[in-house]
Amino acid sequence: MEKGSKIEGFEDLVVWQLAIELAAEIYRHFEPTRDFTLKNQIQRAAISISSNIAEGYERGSNKEFVQFLYYAKGSCGEVRSQAQLAMRVKLLTEARLNRLLPHPRHFPPS
């Protein structure tokens, strides 16, 4: 979406676009994994990020939107923690982890 463009739905939010792509990448990466507990948990947490952004946006109030953004942020923490575990048990390489979840310092300042 171009800078200054009108937001007409949550799909126009860059943060939602990034979150839905992360969920898709998590799904693709863990699809062949036979550790169903970790696979299910990280997929559900990844889905929760974009879902909370969408739900908060659709609530129609800034206060509720902000609250749901905090829920999404919490789910981000879950995904990061589970991805670290996946790396430690060799379900995810460190390089893949860094591609999926770049360190926050790598993002441009807001």
Would the pLDDT of 26 be above 60? yes
First to last CA, the chain: 16
pTM of the full structure: 0.85
Three-state DSSP class for 9?
A: coil
pLDDT of residue 109: 46
**Three-state secondary structure along 28-86?**
HHHCCCCCHHHHHHHHHHHHHHHHHHHHHHHHCCHHHHHHHHHHHHHHHHHHHHHHHHH
pLDDT digits (tens, 9 = 90+) for 47-59: 999 999 999 999 9
Domain segments of the chain as ranges: 11-102
Distance separating alpha carbons of residues 79 and 81, to the nearest angstrom: 5
pLDDT-derived band at 6 (thresholds 50, 70, 90) equals confident
Identify the CATH class of 11-102: mainly alpha
